[in-house]
């Protein structure tokens, strides 16, 4: 294939939600996947009318083909105990249990290992649980249909449908939301969770990745959820929404841009520009640290780390790299084989690896608290919170995205 065909247009098309005009907010040439070594240019467009942010070109067959290969390369190496009791997972299970009947029939679309379903079952022992996921994990611990979701797979309806960290993988949410409606009882519960664009931009987190095509604020998500009534919404690192299916067979009405769309669009473009500057500055710091013979500690060993490490490792050539992760087992991180350490040492540059702003907040508090101590007490290292802040070993901080 000629080189130029691998790069898609820099001019983003119309908004995938409302058809409004869009502008390019962020360009990441040669962006990396978490699960494989494939790379692709990543362009984030913002709709001027509704504020929706999306990956330009992600509605094309070429992107579909690219990402299908990526998901097929997904590894099934167990990294966490089952079920994983992260704060995020527990918060999701509690909302689902709060709004579901005791004996609910629960379907999770994109259930992966089934961690959430297992946590729901603990809270609702009389519920029946089923996952649907094309993942190739062996010995799945919850009942799972190994397939891409299709409403035609199911002959009866469910009381609760879970879409956790799924909708952001679809350029256009309408077919998936219509599918979820089709398998839900009238009045049934839809639990929906997506990354929170507002928090991503506030924290300038590294959440713009090839695997994600759509970025919602509560306002754009609410507008996309026609045919449902939102009964609870939590704005954390992720948006967590519980919604009831309104009766009626008709397709949801056309998307209507929220009134604050233009203001959201302006904030998104400004936030993306800051993030882009911070990303370049942070990478320069990492390269300089490696060139000076320093060690880089990746704090967090999951997807965010994997994509960042694939991108950064050619730039950090020869520099010792290690990982630290409380939830990880074993002496070595399983994908690249980096040694696992308990924590940073004097002289390290620590890169916090999460694309969830709240998880980053907790990591930052912990490492920043440590480096403020004397070197004897375990301080003396620097920390990059990608891509907003640098904490130096002397305790001073600077803004990576400052417009200088």
CB of 15 to Zn ion, least distance (A): 3
CB of 262 to Zn ion, least distance (A): 10
Told to check if 53 binds Zn ion by CB under 5 A, we report: no
Told to check if 162 binds Zn ion by CB under 5 A, we report: no
- CA distance linking residue 308 with residue 303, whole number of Å: 9
Q: Which is nearer to Zn ion, 225 or 286 (CB)?
A: 225
Burial of 385 (0-12, 13-18, 19+ CB in 10 A): buried
- CA distance linking residue 263 with residue 90, whole number of Å: 33
Told to check if 173 binds Zn ion by CB under 5 A, we report: no
Quick note: the x/- pattern for Zn ion over 6-25, rule CB under 5 A, is ---------x-xx-x-----
Q: Which is nearer to Zn ion, 50 or 338 (CB)?
A: 50
- CA distance linking residue 274 with residue 277, whole number of Å: 5
Can you tell me whether residue 50 is helix, strand or coil? coil
Among 28, 32, 45, 52, binds Zn ion (CB under 5 A): 52
Q: Which is nearer to Zn ion, 100 or 219 (CB)?
A: 219
Can you tell me whether residue 105 is helix, strand or coil? strand
CB of 177 to Zn ion, least distance (A): 16
Tokens encoding 238? 């992720």
Strands of 246-403 (E only): list them: 296-299, 321-324, 349-352, 382-385, 389-391, 397-399
CB of 215 to Zn ion, least distance (A): 12
Q: Is the dihedral of CA 150, 153, 157, 161 positive or negative?
A: negative
Among 28, 33, 42, 47, binds Zn ion (CB under 5 A): 47
CB of 274 to Zn ion, least distance (A): 22
Location of structure tokens 């379907």: 107
Q: Which is nearer to Zn ion, 238 or 264 (CB)?
A: 264
Size of the site for Zn ion (CB under 5 A): 8
350 contacts 382 by C-beta, under 8 angstroms: yes
Q: Which is nearer to Zn ion, 31 or 47 (CB)?
A: 47
Q: Which helix (H) or strand (E) holds 281?
A: helix 261-291
Q: How far apart are the first and last CA of the chain?
A: 40
Region from 43-51, 80-88, 264-272, 344-352 binding Zn ion, contact rule CB under 5 A: 43-51
CB of 47 to Zn ion, least distance (A): 3
Q: Which is nearer to Zn ion, 15 or 104 (CB)?
A: 15
Q: Which is nearer to Zn ion, 49 or 351 (CB)?
A: 49
Tokens encoding 151? 């409403």
Told to check if 44 binds Zn ion by CB under 5 A, we report: no
When computed from its CA atoms, the radius of gyration of the chain, rounded to whole angstroms, is: 21
Quick note: the x/- pattern for Zn ion over 355-374, rule CB under 5 A, is --------------------
CB of 174 to Zn ion, least distance (A): 13
Helix boundaries (H) for 128-240: 174-183, 197-203, 218-224
Phi, psi of 177 (to 5 degrees): -65, -35
CB of 48 to Zn ion, least distance (A): 8
Helix boundaries (H) for 73-170: 87-99, 115-123
276 contacts 27 by C-beta, under 8 angstroms: yes
Told to check if 269 binds Zn ion by CB under 5 A, we report: no
Told to check if 255 binds Zn ion by CB under 5 A, we report: no
CB of 51 to Zn ion, least distance (A): 7
Told to check if 50 binds Zn ion by CB under 5 A, we report: yes
Residues that bind Zn ion (CB under 5 A): 15, 17-18, 20, 47, 49-50, 52
């Amino acid at each position: 294939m000629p080189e130029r065909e691998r790069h898609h247009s820099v001019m983003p098309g119309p908004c995938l939600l409302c058809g409004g005009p869009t502008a390019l907010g962020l360009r990441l040439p040669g962006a990396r996947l978490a699960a494989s070594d494939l790379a692709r240019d990543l362009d984030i467009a913002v709709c001027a009318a509704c504020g929706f942010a999306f990956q330009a070109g992600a509605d094309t067959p070429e992107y579909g083909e690219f990402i299908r290969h990526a998901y097929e390369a997904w590894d099934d190496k167990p990294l966490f105990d089952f079920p994983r009791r992260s704060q995020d997972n527990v918060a999701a299970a509690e909302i689902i249990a709060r709004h579901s009947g005791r004996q609910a029939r629960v379907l999770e679309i994109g259930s992966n290992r089934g961690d959430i379903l297992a946590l729901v079952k603990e809270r609702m022992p009389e519920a029946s649980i089923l996952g649907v996921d094309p993942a190739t994990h062996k010995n799945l611990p919850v009942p799972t249909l190994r397939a891409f979701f299709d409403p035609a797979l199911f002959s009866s309806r469910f009381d609760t449908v879970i879409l956790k960290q799924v909708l952001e993988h679809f350029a256009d949410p309408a077919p998936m939301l219509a599918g979820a409606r089709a398998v839900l009882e009238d009045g049934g519960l839809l639990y929906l969770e997506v990354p929170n664009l507002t928090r991503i931009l506030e924290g300038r987190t590294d959440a713009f990745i090839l695997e994600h095509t759509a970025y919602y604020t509560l306002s754009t998500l609410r507008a996309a959820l026609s045919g449902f009534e939102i009964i609870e919404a939590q704005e954390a690192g992720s948006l967590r929404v519980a919604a009831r299916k309104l009766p009626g067979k008709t397709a949801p009405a056309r998307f209507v841009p929220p009134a604050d769309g233009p203001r959201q669009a302006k904030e998104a473009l400004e936030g993306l520009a800051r993030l882009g500057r911070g990303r370049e500055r942070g990478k320069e710091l990492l390269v300089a640290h490696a060139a000076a013979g320093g060690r880089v500690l990746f704090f967090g060993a999951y997807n965010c780390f994997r994509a960042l490490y694939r991108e950064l490792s050619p730039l950090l050539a020869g520099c010792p790299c290690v990982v630290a992760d409380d939830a990880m087992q074993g002496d070595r991180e399983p994908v690249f084989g980096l040694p696992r350490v308990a924590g940073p040492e004097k002289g390290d540059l620590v890169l916090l690896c999460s694309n969830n702003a709240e998880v980053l907040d907790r990591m930052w508090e912990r490492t920043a608290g440590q480096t403020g101590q004397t070197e004897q007490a375990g301080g003396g290292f620097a920390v990059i919170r990608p891509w907003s802040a640098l904490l130096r070993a002397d305790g001073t901080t600077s803004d990576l995205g400052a417009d200088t």
